[in-house]
Amino acid sequence: MRKLQVGLVGGGSWGTTVASIVARNTSITMWARNEETVKEINKKHTNKKYLPDARLPKHLKASHDLKEVVGDADVLIMGVPSNSFREVAKQIAPHLRPWVPVVSLTKGLERGTDMRMTQIIEDELPGHPVGVLTGPNLAREIMAGQAAASVIAMEDEIIVQELQKVFNSGLFRVYTNDDVIGCELGGVLKNVIAIAVGMGISLGAGDNTRSALITRGLSEITRLGVAMGGRPETFSGLTGMGDMLATCISSQSRNHHVGLELGKGRSIDDIIEEMVMVAEGVKSAPTVIKIAEKLGVEMPIANDVHEVIAGRITPEQAFYGLLKRKVGAEIEPD
């Protein structure tokens, strides 16, 4: 049997990392928008803009030709930011063969439609099995050879077990889950809480406060995630609590970095302008609050993050407002 041919769309840090992992198991070609990035990957086996210290597998190929990458793919992975996800999916549609599974790496929501990335795939690429790879995965640590765990979520039990073999490799352990909604939302919603934790640290919050923010933040995202159709137990696993911890405490987290800088009094525009990579929590915050209000889910931490990003309150007002908030039972009755 010939090896599966995998196509990956996206040349950022996480897309490049996933391509490197998959390259250990099967053939993969990744698409990058920037032609210089493509040349660097193929000739130097590096992607220094996003992974400055990493050496990529020599047999990992890159291409600037979307048709070439997509047309030959038996499995397609999408690792582009949420704001361009639909546009790229439209470009992919004419070239993708029927029934090819499509896996999203993107932890964001589409502004305007409130849709998850897997919903956009179903919208623009109907008839294709849809999944998501998500978890507490910091790209630089994985590329440095440190152990990590992730989850491949898809409703089809047979296909997800085959995809597990594509991604599982050495110290990168991949589990399966059929709760696509819950797994995907865990990856999206924790980004907003990570911004809150970063702000708190800049404002002098200690470990006690940070642990309280993370725990109460997990409670918030679980409430909203369940209201949106996810299963509660999913949010206590790798894609919920696991991803929340990694994003909230790591200096490598983009959203954590945004929170730290906001807490120093910097404007969101200045912070984003100097960043190479996308902090999805900034984009997702307005959509998260919109959905929460629509579903009647209370999310005080996420709401204050949204207000700070929008410039309506300061990080100090948000932080001390949360401390003064009325307390009730930790676990609300059903």
Residue in 159, 193, 191 with CA at minimum distance from that of residue 176: 159
Q: CA-CA distances (angstroms) from residue 56 to 5, 7, 261?
A: 18, 16, 31
DSSP 116: B
Of 43, 44, 67, 190, catalytic:
190
Sign of CA dihedral 119, 51, 136, 322: negative
Query: Strand, helix or coil at 175?
Result: strand
Q: Is 61 a catalytic residue?
A: no
Place of tokens 């399966």: 176
**CB-based contacts of 94, cutoff 8 Å, min separation 6:** none
Nearest to 240 by CA among 226, 259, 251: 226
Rounded Cα–Cα distance for residues 191 and 195 (Å): 7
Q: Which two tokens stand for residue 331?
A: 């676990």
148-154/102-104 β-pairing: unpaired
* 225, two tokens: 């995630």
The per-residue DSSP string of 229-297 comes to T--GGGGGSIIIIIHHHHHHH-TT-HHHHHHHHHHTT--HHHHHHT-SS--HHHHHHHHHHHHHHHHT-
Residues acting as catalytic residues: 190
